[in-house]
Amino acid sequence: VNMMAPIAEANAGSPAFTNRLIVKFHNMANDKQREDMPAERLKQLNSRAGMPLSRGRALSDNTGVYILPDWVHEDVANSLAARLSDDPSIEYAEPDRLRRPLFIPNDSLYAQQWNLFEDAGGLRLPGAWDQERGAANIIIALLDSGIRNHSDLAPARLVPGYDFISDPDIANDGGGRDANPADPGDWVAAGECAPGEPASPSSWHGTQIAGVIGASSDNAAGIAGVTHGTRLLVVRVLGKCGGFSSDIIDAMRWAAGFSVPGVPDNANPARVINLSFGGEGKCTRLEQDTIDAINARGAVVMVAAGNEAGDVKKHSPASCNGVVTVAATTRSGGRASYTNTGTGVDVSAPGGDFHDGLLVLSNGGTTIPAADYFLLVAGTSYAAAQVSGIVALMLSVNEDLSLIH
Q: Which residues are catalytic?
A: 144, 205, 381
Nearest Cα neighbor of 326 from 224, 215, 209, 174 is 209
Classify 358 as helix, strand or coil: strand
Contact call for residues 388 and 305 (beta carbons, < 8 A): no
Q: How many Cβ atoms sit within 10 Å of the Cβ of residue 36?
A: 10
Is the bond leading into 184 cis (omega within 30 degrees of zero)? no
Cα four-point dihedral sign 341, 347, 351, 354:
positive
Is the bond leading into 317 cis (omega within 30 degrees of zero)? yes
Query: Which residue type, as a one-letter code, is found at position 399?
Result: E
Instruction: Note the Cα 42 to chain centre separation in Å.
Output: 33
Residues 6+ apart with CB under 8 A from 307: 9, 10, 11, 12, 102, 103, 104, 328, 338, 339, 340, 379, 380
